Each structure stands twice: as structure tokens, then as C-alpha cells.
Chain A
């Protein structure tokens, strides 16, 4: 059974996210056939929008078939919402066409920038949190929501550097964006942990400073570990390892606060076999089913 009846969300983010409150997996071309053949019991599939901005061929063929079996999350990685330059209008229209071709249950993007002028840098780069940036990010999100005709979920970033120019905390910045634009929050628990360790702050305090009522979806992923020149622990959001125990612990605390929530196991590099991904999904699914909201 691909998706039996699931608990539904009762929060404002419901408008932005129609996924069931179950665990989903990222869709990779390596898994097209095995997913169709075995139909594992997962809650949804997530794709990166930019990978599907092609005209035809196997990507659209398999996505079309899998969409009949699973709800779909479309996750953008190229809009560059935080860029100083204007949004790329052509890219936004390509995105609109993709969402019309494969209507998803949710669309999400990142609090980051990835382009400068005509250059595309293909990484989620960090923002200085100040008032001009806040105004620009809000204007860009409103433009995206108006063009797509739907609210989006905005993902909190994993960062390795902080700017001298910042005058707001990251959590304050996110609160104001959510409040002003009406967008929901894609809460990446791994990003919370990575960012807080990298900048020496408390992950639970960070979590509690976020507008948790706006959480429409969660990402869980693994990080890899490094150190900076001073020997300070530096975590890298690599999406290439199992989810860390500390991130599982933070996820349990989040579930106590928000209740069952659609959750993606995000694994993009050094892909393990499908059974390993399904085992990670099972762990998260068990936590969702066991969670009791603490008021």
C-alpha cells in the first residue's frame, strides 16, 4: 500500500504543503525502475526542480508514472531568492511550467543565493542578515508566490560563515520573512544542527526561536565532519552520510513541539542501496507515529 490514511496537519502551513505527515525520499534516476517495480511504503517523493527542466525523455516518463503512486514535493535549488540581482524571470517561468506539468503537493526553496548577475554558482551561499536583505528576500518570495499562484516553503540554511554586516539573528530574520510573506517553513533539522555547531550556538534554543507553527515539511540528512584552521569542529551539510544521533534527538524534540509532519530523508551524494534509505525512513516513520505533542 503506497500511502494509507495519514494524520493531517492542522496549522497555517497546510495551505503550502499538502503532503501526508509521513516520511518521503528524494527521487534519483538510479531508483526510477526499482521504485516502480517494488512500490515501497513511503509517504512521498521529492525532486530537485532544476533536474527536471528538460523537455522530454526518461526523467519526465518515470516521474509521470511515479506521480500516480506517490505524492510529490518539488524542491528548487536555483531560484537564488537571496541574490542582490533580480530574480531570473526565464527561470521562474520554467519553474512555473514544471509545476503545471507535474503539479506537486508542495514547492520549497532556500534562504540563500546561488547566482550573481548572469553567473550561476550552483551552491547555496550565505546571506548577511540585515534590513535591506530582508526587504529584498521578502520581495523575491512575493514575486515567486505571485507567479506560481501558491505559497512556498522556505528552507533554513546550513552555513559555515557569519557576516560582519548582519544586524539580525538568523531566526529573527526567518520569523520576519514568514510573517511578512505568508510563506511556510521547510525546517531542515540537519541544517539547524550544522549551523549551530559551526557558530557555537545552542540548537534547541535556535529551534525554539523559529516560527514552528509555520513548519510544513522537515528535512533530515547526514553531515560530514571537518575542522577549521583553529581546530574548531566544522560540520559540512554533505547529504552523503546516515543521519547523526544528535539530529535524531533534535527531530524528536521538534516532533514534540509540532506533531506529525511530512519528513524527507535527504541523501544526494554517495547514494547507498535503496534498502538502506528505506531503513532510515522507517526510523523517522516510527518517531512520527510515536510522537505525542507536549503543550
Chain B
């Protein structure tokens, strides 16, 4: 094995015995521990930065033990740790000691979407004048497709992911949350701020249909069957107020 191959093996294997043959320094095992601590604590810090609510839900000691198990099995492969832990939620689902918190994996999914939204590509919202111009031609609206901001994503969950997340923000109150109520989270970045909103089923289905590229008419109609409470006007007003309609696409041409 190459020298760096041995070094890497020793980082992941605390019982590695060949350190005195590799290093000339005195007490190489205790010195090697510094590198091992640096490597693993930097990865735990990266996960704790990306998953602060998961960490609060399980406590620091449990989080560190869970994260360390993850790091051992899934060390980073990208040089930028911003994306590290893309598969942390899937790992949590299989992590038996966390089985008592069935909502934990979805909270992790939500926090990943928040990180992605924070760093997502910038994209200018369509001007209000252009939107007003289109609203004045209702016959064309049905065929219109909306391009949404790259930061926007939806997480439908069997658990109260939005309420759990909000309860762990400053001033939040976890005692008022029933974690087993299904919620649908909308994550987006408005300006520089990441925002999180709980959606009703109708609005959720409508925005998902827009994301899938359906024209406005079909997205609204599809949705009409799913929920009687759906209000197209309110839903568009929400997307407009959050500056997330970034493209208007008609059949022939795309309008920036």
C-alpha cells in the first residue's frame, strides 16, 4: 500500500499498528490522534452546521455519535463540504437508535433543502408590469408555463416538519407541536433570506405541477380535483410576493 494509503487507513482504523514503522517522531500514536481528530471533527462540524435542528432534536451527544457513524460509512467525496451529507437523511432512516423519532429523516431532508436554497443560483423575478400585462389577457393564461426560482423546492411529509423546524428557531415552542400531523413544506430564498412555509394540499399539488412544467390552466385544473379550498389567485399572489416566478413561457417563446 502507498504511504498516503496507509495514512488514510490509519485515520479510519484506530487500531492501526504500523504507525511506528511509518513515522520517525516520538510517540507517533498520540501525535497521529491530532490528525484523526481534525479530520473527523471537521466533518462532524460540517454536518452540525447543515443540520442544526436535527442536532437539537436528538441532543449533542447523540448527534455526534450518529454523525460519526455516518462519516465512517460515507466520508466526503467532494472538496467543498457545503454539499456534504446529501445522503444523511437516508442514513438516519436506517440508523436503528433513531427509530423512536420517525420524523427525524424528514427534518434532515428539510434542512438539506434550506442549505441548497441558501446557496442556489441567483435568478431575477419577472417584473410586476409584465405579470400585470399577462393577467390582462386571461385567454392566454391557461397555456402559460411559469419558471420558478432555483431555490424553490417542496417536501411533502407524513410528519409536521415545518412545525418541528419552527419550534427550534428562537422563540419556538416544541410543546405545541404534534409531530405526527402531515405537513407539506415549501422552501425558497426570497432576496437573501431562506423562508419556509407550510402549504395546504391544493397549493402543494399546484406548485408541484408548475415545477413539472404543466401550463397554468392544467396545473390549476388538476389541483381543482384535489382540494376544494384551493385559491389560484392566492397561490399566484404568494409566488409573486416571494419573487420566485422567474420565467414566463408561452407556447412559442420564453419571456425573461
Contacts and interface: CB of A to CB of B under 8 A. Distances in A.
Interface of A: 50-51, 53-61, 78-80, 83-84, 88, 91, 94, 113-116, 118-123, 125-126, 128, 160-166, 198-199, 226, 228-230, 232, 234, 236
A83 B4 contact: yes
Contact of A236 (B34, B39, B122): B34
Nearest to A59: B119
B122 A228 contact: no
Given A56-B122, A57-B189, A57-B192, A119 B77 contact: yes
Contacts of A116: 4-5, 7-8
B31 interface: yes
A57 B78 contact: no
Contacts of B3: 84, 128, 163, 165
B165 interface: no
Nearest to B119: A54
B39 A123 contact: yes
B76 A119 contact: yes
A228 B30 contact: yes
Contacts of B121: 55-56
Contact of B2 (A78, A84, A162): A84
Nearest to A79: B79
B5 A60 contact: no
A125 B25 contact: no
B11 A121 contact: yes
Interface string B224-245: 0000000000000000000000
A123 B187 CA distance: 33
Given A84-B3, A229-B29, A121 B8 contact: yes
28 contacts: A50-B79, A50-B82, A55-B119, A57-B118, A57-B122, A57-B189, A57-B192, A61-B122, A78-B80, A83-B4, A116-B4, A119-B76, A120-B76, A121-B8, A121-B39, A122-B46, A123-B35, A123-B42, A125-B7, A125-B35, A162-B24, A163-B24, A165-B22, A166-B24, A198-B31, A229-B29, A229-B30, A234-B31
A161 B28 contact: yes
B25 A199 contact: yes
Given A84-B2, A228-B27, 7 more contacts: A51-B80, A56-B119, A57-B118, A57-B120, A84-B3, A119-B75, A120-B77
B91 interface: no
A9 B174 CA distance: 58
- Counting from the closest, the 9 A-B pairs by CB-CB distance are A78-B79, A54-B119, A56-B122, A229-B27, A55-B121, A229-B30, A116-B8, A53-B80, A123-B38
Contacts of A51: 80, 82
A167 B203 CA distance: 68
Given A121-B8, A122-B76, A160-B31, A57 B119 contact: yes
Interface string B180-196: 00000000010010000
Contacts of B43: 122
A119 B8 contact: yes
B81 to A, nearest CB: 6
Contacts of B171: none
Contacts of B118: 57-58
A93 to B, nearest CB: 12
Interface in B58-93: 75-82
Contact of A161 (B31, B42, B120, B192): B31
B119 A160 contact: no
